[in-house]
Structures are given as C-alpha cells and as structure tokens.
Amino acid sequence: MAYRRLTWPGEPYPHPVRVAKSDDPQLCAGYLAKLVEEVLPPEGRVVIAVSRKVARLWEKDFLKPLRDYRPDAVVLKLPDGEERKNLDELQEIYRRLLRHRIDRRGLIVAIGGGVLTDMVGFAAATYMRGIAWISVPTTLTGQVDAGLGGKTGVDFSGGKNMVGAFWQPKEVFLAPVLLGTLPIKEVRSGLAEVVKTGLALNPGILRTLRRTGTRVLENDHELLVKIVSMCAREKMTVVAEDTTDKGRRAVLNLGHTVGHAIEASGGFQRWNHGQSVAMGLMVIVSVAEQRGKMSAEERRQTEELIGTLGLLPKTAPDPVQTGRYLTLDKKMVGNQLWAIIPGPIGQTEICPIGAEELLDERHWAWRQNLRRVR
C-alpha cells in the first residue's frame, strides 16, 4: 500500500487518518486528490487553502499536481505565523470564500502548519454554520498533534486558542515527505510534541528517539513515517474517547499549561510553540519528581532527551512574566489550575496545582544553562 490507514479503538471515529509512506510528493498529491473525490459533497466546489510558505516550497512537486487533478479548485494562499492567527485573518478567509461563491457544499483542503489548520478548520466550522474540510498538516507539530482531532481556533486578547470550536475534518492526510523542507528549528518544535506524547502515553516513542539519537533531525524518511504514525495513533486513541476535551483528552496538554504561558509572555514570537512546550515539560517533570510521581531517573532521562534533541532555546523566560499569563489559562479554577502531572513514563494524572508551585525556582533550575530574558 502506498499509504497506511491508521487504526485505533473506535476507528474511524472521529475521523480517518492516512499516512503516505511514499517519498515522492507527486504521488502523495495523487493520493490526496483521490481522497478529495471521495469526500467532496455532490456538486460541491473544492477550496485549497495553503500557507504561502508551503506554496512557495511545494508549488512544482505537490500543489501543481494536486491542481492538475482539480483544475476548478479555488486556491487561497494564506499567511503563516502565530501572530496572524487572529480574528482579522479569519474574517479575510470568510470574505474570500464569499467572493468565490463557496456554499455549504464546499470542501476546504487545509495545507500548512498547525497555525493554518487551526484557523482554516475554524473557518470551516463557522462559515455558513459549517462546511466540510480535510486537514493536511505539513509540519511535524501538525502531523503529530495540531492537525489531528478537530480542535480549531484563533488567538484572542493575548490568549492562545481563546476563540474556537471542535469541528472534525472528513479526513486527515499525513505526508511525511513534506517535512523534508522544514528548517531544523521547526523540526525541533515538532519533536517537543513527540516527546510529550511519549512521556504521556507511550514509552516506546521515547525509546525510539533515544535509540536513533539525532537521526530524526536529518530527514530520515522511514524514521519520520514511523514517529508520525506512532504519535498520530496515540493521539487518535485519546481523541476517540473524548472528542470535546472534557476529560481524557486533557492528557494531551502535558507541558502546555506552563508552555502556553511562556509562549504568550514572549508575544508568540520570542519562543516558538515547541520551545515553549519543551520548557513546560522541564518544569512539570521537576514538579512530578518533587511530588513523588516520577522517579529521579525518569526525570533525568527526559531532561537528557530534550537536551540531546536541542529542544530548549538559547534564551530563558522570566517566571514572573510567565506567571502573569498563567491566570489566563482556560483551566484556571479560582486560584488553582488543573494540570497534567506525569507519573511513571506513559502515565499521567490530572491534579490541582497552584501557580506558586509551578513558578517555584526549584522547577526552573534548568534556566541556569540559558541566557536570561528580563
């Protein structure tokens, strides 16, 4: 088979996931075109919503072959970056859909990183009260996390994903070959989510990363297919149990409580999402050891892997600034947050925790090796 359809308990609920094994992007475009034909509503029109960066990098080998299959498709080239994930950009998508007379029979194919799939998915969820879409994440972060599971949204008033909806795509199509043009910084950003998934759900993922060392940073296609498949399956197993984030799905937020606050404290520009999550993981494994949930050896192994893969930035955040954004967290109840605390690797607990414990200097000792930002 040229692509693998992932299976998990309850699959295909809430949506199918296919991983293209081919390292030929033109073949992958052909597979995607077939999926479009399968899910396109009768008399519907196709909209290809693609990030400008992806359009520039993959015009010849992926987008043109896809358009050749669907010459009538409307192409929307959209901006990249967390700073563009807002209501203003969302309204522009609505305007362009209206301008092209896209109705409720339309199908949007979202091709880009997690920011784009979040925003375009939300546009699909809300335009004319909901139209069909396909998620085609092109970053490692998107393929192992953000592009899966139907969470959509935009940032608002300093809060990440403060306006959003659960709107499941008809298909998720993962083509690891498209990761080949990613800058190393973006690969590392995605690896933070890979480490999170292994730490929370599957120790085998961490064993694979430790065994292969830095090979994952060298565009090893077979290794990327394996890692993407493992992470996507783990995420979908959780999402199938809890599609609307009311319980079990919270495990996927491991490292994100502090991570989102760090990211916001830097204006979503100083540290990218993966760096912020990696720092959030450093804090939370320290908390876990202090609480007796995780052994010192498991904490050491986790910190060592994060270091080996180069997931931490060169500059460190200020815990005081971070604390100001913790109060905006959607999980804040009174003076406490409900945070995911790791136990033995592959297990977690949802526990109440005060902001002062998360900001305790003991859990930020790793900052000593980074240049401080004040």
What number is the average pLDDT over the span 191-206?
98
- Continuous segment of H or E residues that includes residue 124: helix 114-126
- Residue 163 CA to residue 30 CA, distance in Å, equals 34
Homologous superfamily of 246-372: Dehydroquinate synthase-like - alpha domain (1.20.1090.10)
Cα angle for residues 213, 239, 20 (degrees, 5° grid): 55
- Continuous segment of H or E residues that includes residue 260: helix 256-265
**C-alpha separations of 294 from 51, 68, 126 in Å:** 41, 53, 42
* DSSP annotation of 100: T
* Domain spans in the chain, listed from the N-terminal domain onward: 3-182, 246-372
For residue range 92-113, what is the model confidence (pLDDT) as tens digits?
999 999 999 999 999 999 999 9
pTM beyond 0.85, yes or no: yes
For residue range 61-98, what is the model confidence (pLDDT) as tens digits?
999 999 999 999 999 999 988 889 999 999 999 999 99
Residue 160 has pLDDT above 90, yes or no: no
Residue 372 has pLDDT above 70, yes or no: no
- Residue 129 CA to residue 94 CA, distance in Å, equals 12
pLDDT range class, residue 1, cuts 50, 70, 90: low
b/e 305-337 (16+ beta carbons within 10 angstroms → b)? bbeebebbbeebbbbeebbebbeebebeeeeeb
User: What kind of fold does domain 3-182 have according to CATH?
Assistant: Rossmann fold (3.40.50)
